Amino acid sequence: MSAPVIAPVTLASAAPKAAATLNAVKAKIGMIPNLYATLAQSPAALDALLAINTAVSEGTLSGAEREIISLATAQVNGCQYCLSAHTLMGKGAGLSAEQILKARSGSGNSARQAAIASFAQSLLTHRGHVAEAEVASARDAGLSDGELMEIVVGVAANTLTNFANNLAKTTLDFPAVALQLPA
């Protein structure tokens, strides 16, 4: 595996504000993911991501539904780091291996899950210019307009991490998941 293009900071080398934030992350989840340590090159970048994640976690979408957005987004953006992390997190949120693969392919086990994954991927592929018929389909699957906006924010937050990892070539610290979907 090649070295990262942008290296993660260590607690010893981080700016004091970033070190405090990284320590808080470690206290909350038991580790400092390389993504966070890399974003900590800029304390503002790390704080921005954490603020978005906190706000999204207080929305109406469930943890499993937020993981579907993360998986669908990472697949489109080709981010192995996030696919690996969110496969593990998706399992923790109650998604089966089948649901994880379906989310990555823009589908789901229910009409609602499929609508979430499909809508997230459509936002990316059409750069937000989603056809009215797709919006109507998402609504028909039970998604409210507020939830559609939460999907937009989830896609934006995940695109931020996908792009940061793709740029930095962040070293995986989660069990590796291949970018290629199984045939």
- For the chain, the first-to-last Cα distance in angstroms comes to 25
As a whole number of angstroms, the distance between CA 92 and CA 154 comes to: 18
Write out pLDDT tens, residues 135-164: 999 999 999 999 999 999 999 999 999 999
CA 140 to chain centre: 25
Per residue in 36-82, pLDDT tens? 999 999 999 999 999 999 999 999 999 999 999 999 999 999 999 99
Q: Is the pLDDT of residue 1 over 80?
A: no
Note the pTM of the prediction, 2 decimals: 0.94
